[in-house]
């Protein structure tokens, strides 16, 4: 009997070359940390930065200049949106490493190798989520992102607060992952496919079971809400921001939100847009509740980390206004401008949040007094550079002209008004005014509260002063010259999601 000749076609690895390189660097860092001497452990920081620089170079090289490339039977997608969001992730993680270098060396000396390796594993998960073209890839990437962060929260082994935060985060995160997996199974049962584009095609041709899909959509939206920290799925946010090591809180507050935004765009717009009327109603309730609870709860906080945690809840609700406003009566009439406004808002918020936590990391005793707001008293005299940067970041988060946060809020509000939701725009403006109170309180404490007894000037390395000043300057300049980043957001979505 003659068997027919079979050939195995190798997949195209070129679209995923950045992910493969980061995986290689993770292995290299783990092996290096085993054999390197204690005095030379600073090398791990440079290896981690090299991983990000190399990944950025490969991402730019592999970019198809507006084309959409698919690999691994369509499970992996390389498009302009993925490239832009990956570059933003690399920049944010690089800032995290720079800000946290001295903190990790002092607070986590025994786990320095684990810190860099776990953070890069989480970064790899973010990259996979951003480029996912299949529900399986999305879920695997999300777990690859989440599991290392659970471990990072508990990395400070002698801290009972960190252990408690890690346990809460892990249990609630496992529950959210189960919700998401159950929702994916319902979508598969309704359509018979896990390919995101095939799901959209099936519903557009009325070939899917709509009732089953909407049932699964509830669980999917719940999972997205948990990962973004939206109310009422926000229970983990204040505890994790407060209990995690400061370098890990910096990480959690920034880059993962970019990946989850990509998750929402891929699933809700690319895959489930025919069900937009259903998920829009769900998101609208989450958005209003998040803006209300986040801003009102942040006012009562005396701890700076917990204040930033509750403010992040309100910011994520404000950011999702774009996705909510892009759909008008089931039509994508305003979708490109609305979603690009949300993307711009997210990127500017992540840059501001990373800078705010970065300033905290650079304080002489960043964990002293558990990070109370009162500990910032007199910062304007003790360290003018750190205080000026923090003031810039607080002004931006409050949406004060002419900083990046103002233009971000303005662009989102324009999308809301264009959708005809004037009541929602008025509500968003009201809660923004509420939020301005607790941000301006930080400025008041830094510049007008008296110096504590025995306070000394803060000595910050010149390189870190330059980095902090550059971070604050970037936030200020993006408010004055926002067109370049907004243009990139619009183009990336035009050549990817709405191609």
Q: How many CB atoms sit inside 10 A of residue 292's CB?
A: 18
DSSP-H helix ranges across 229-334: 236-243, 246-252, 255-264, 276-299, 304-319, 321-325
Structure tokens at 42: 């600073």
Query: Are the beta carbons of 350 and 255 closer than 8 angstroms?
Result: yes
Within 10 angstroms of residue 192's Cβ, the number of other Cβ atoms is 13
Residue written as token pair 């986590």: 108
pLDDT value at residue 69: 85
Domain ranges of the chain: 14-494
**CA–CA separation, 482 and 319 (whole Å):** 17
pLDDT at 181: 93
What residue ranges of the chain have pLDDT lower than 50? 1, 369-370
* pLDDT on residue 330: 56
What pLDDT is attached to residue 67? 79
pLDDT of residue 369: 43
- Strand runs (DSSP E) across 305-373, as ranges? none
Rounded distance between C-alpha atoms, residue 281 and residue 159, angstroms: 42
Can you give the pTM of this predicted structure? 0.94
Q: What percent of the chain has pLDDT over 90?
A: 67
SS3 of the chain: helix, strand, coil, percent, to 5: 75, 5, 20
Number of Cβ within 10 Å of residue 437's Cβ equals 12
pLDDT given at position 8: 56
pLDDT at residue number 95 = 96
Please count the other Cβ atoms lying within 10 Å of the Cβ belonging to residue 211: 9
What is residue 499's predicted lDDT score, i.e. its pLDDT?
62
């Amino acid at each position: 009997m003659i068997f027919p000749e079979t050939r195995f076609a190798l997949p195209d690895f070129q679209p995923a070359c950045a992910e493969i390189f980061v995986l290689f660097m993770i292995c290299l860092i783990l092996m290096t940390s085993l054999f390197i001497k204690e005095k030379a452990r600073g090398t791990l920081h440079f290896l981690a930065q090299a991983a990000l620089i190399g990944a950025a170079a490969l991402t730019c090289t592999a970019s198809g200049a507006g084309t959409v490339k698919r690999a691994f039977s369509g499970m992996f997608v390389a498009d302009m949106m993925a490239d832009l969001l990956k570059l933003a992730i690399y920049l944010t993680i690089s800032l995290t490493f720079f800000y946290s270098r001295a903190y990790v060396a002092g607070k986590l000396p025994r786990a320095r190798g684990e810190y860099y390796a776990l953070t890069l594993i989480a970064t790899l998960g973010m990259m996979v989520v951003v480029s996912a073209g299949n529900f399986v890839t999305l879920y695997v990437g999300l777990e690859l992102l989440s599991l290392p962060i659970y471990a990072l929260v508990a990395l400070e082994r002698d801290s009972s607060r960190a252990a408690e935060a890690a346990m809460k985060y892990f249990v609630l995160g496992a529950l959210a992952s189960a919700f998401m997996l159950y929702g994916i199974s319902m979508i598969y049962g309704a359509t018979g496919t896990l390919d995101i584009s095939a799901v959209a095609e099936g519903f557009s041709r009325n070939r899917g079971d709509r009732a089953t899909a909407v049932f699964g959509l509830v669980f999917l939206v719940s999972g997205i809400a948990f990962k973004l920290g939206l109310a009422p799925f926000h229970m983990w946010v204040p505890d994790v921001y407060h209990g995690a090591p400061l370098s890990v809180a910096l990480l959690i507050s920034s880059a993962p939100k970019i990946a989850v935004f990509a998750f929402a765009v891929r699933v809700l717009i690319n895959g489930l847009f025919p069900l937009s009327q259903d998920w829009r109603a769900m998101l609208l309730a989450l958005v209003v509740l998040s803006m209300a609870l986040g801003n009102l709860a942040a006012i009562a906080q005396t701890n700076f980390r917990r204040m930033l945690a509750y403010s992040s809840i309100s910011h994520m609700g404000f950011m999702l206004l774009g996705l909510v406003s892009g759909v008008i009566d089931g039509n994508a009439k305003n979708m490109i401008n609305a979603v690009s406004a949300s993307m711009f808002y997210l990127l500017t918020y992540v840059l501001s949040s990373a800078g705010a936590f970065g300033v905290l990391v650079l304080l002489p005793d960043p964990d002293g007094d558990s990070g109370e707001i009162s500990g910032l008293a007199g910062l304007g005299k003790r360290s003018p550079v750190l205080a000026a940067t923090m003031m810039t970041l607080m002004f931006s988060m409050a949406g004060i002209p002419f900083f990046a946060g103002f233009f971000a809020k303005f662009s989102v509000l324009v999308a809301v008004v264009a959708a005809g939701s004037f009541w929602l725009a008025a509500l968003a403006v009201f809660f923004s005014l509420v939020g301005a109170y607790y941000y301006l309180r930080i400025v008041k404490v830094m510049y007008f509260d008296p110096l504590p007894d025995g306070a000394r000037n803060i000595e910050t390395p010149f390189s870190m002063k330059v980095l902090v000043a550059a971070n604050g300057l970037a936030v200020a300049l993006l408010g004055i010259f926002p067109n370049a980043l907004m243009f990139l957001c619009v183009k990336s979505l035009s050549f990817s999601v709405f191609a």
